[in-house]
């Protein structure tokens, strides 16, 4: 039985820009990468790894955030197409000033997550054993 081992990595490059002439303090950028089990009989719900980052933006300022990578891995039986492990399912980003959401992106668009359930980004996986 031939099995293929795979690994996926996802990280985000987020750009936040202040187009106003006012200083913006305590701008919160919430981000998450969504992981889902690929097991056919899995009833586990997706897990969201990410964090909140706070930035200050001067007038007409631009800040870039490079997120920590989220890695998943699994195996696929090449004869049956059945797999085990995890896949990256999507990502979410939300920008708040105070309690007001001023921008957000969910990919895919049908993805809605609770940023209250963010899990810390796990440490990188060990190298794949051949």
Q: What is the CATH number of the domain that holds 70?
A: 2.60.40
- Does 69 map to a domain? yes
Q: How far apart are CA 21 and CA 10, in angstroms?
A: 34
More confident of the two residues 30 and 116: 30
pLDDT surpasses 60 at 40: yes
Q: What is the pLDDT of residues 17-33, one digit of tens each?
A: 999 999 999 999 999 99
- The whole domain housing 22 covers 3-114
Q: What is the pLDDT of residues 51-100, one digit of tens each?
A: 999 999 999 999 999 999 999 998 888 777 778 889 999 999 999 998 99
- Does 121 map to a domain? no
The number of folded domains in the chain is 1
- For residue 2, what is the enclosing H or E element? none
- Does 126 map to a domain? no
- Does 27 map to a domain? yes
- Does 124 map to a domain? no
- Does 106 map to a domain? yes
- Does 108 map to a domain? yes
The CA–CA distances, whole Å, from 43 to 10, 19, 36, 57, 108 equal 23, 44, 10, 42, 20
pLDDT surpasses 90 at 111: no
Q: Say whether the peptide bond before residue 74 is cis (omega within 30 degrees of 0).
A: no
- Does 120 map to a domain? no
């Amino acid at each position: 039985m031939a099995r293929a081992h795979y690994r996926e990595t996802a990280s985000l490059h987020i750009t936040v820009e202040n187009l106003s002439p006012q200083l913006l303090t305590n701008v919160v950028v919430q981000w998450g990468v969504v992981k889902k089990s690929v097991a056919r009989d899995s009833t586990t719900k997706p897990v969201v790894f990410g964090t909140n980052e706070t930035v200050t933006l001067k007038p007409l300022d631009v800040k870039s955030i490079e997120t920590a990578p989220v890695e998943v891995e699994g195996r696929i039986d090449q004869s049956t197409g059945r797999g085990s492990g995890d896949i990256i399912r999507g990502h979410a980003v939300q920008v708040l000033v105070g309690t007001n959401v001023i921008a957000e992106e969910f990919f895919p668009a049908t993805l809605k997550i609770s940023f209250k359930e963010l899990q810390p980004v796990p440490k990188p996986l060990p190298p794949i054993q051949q």
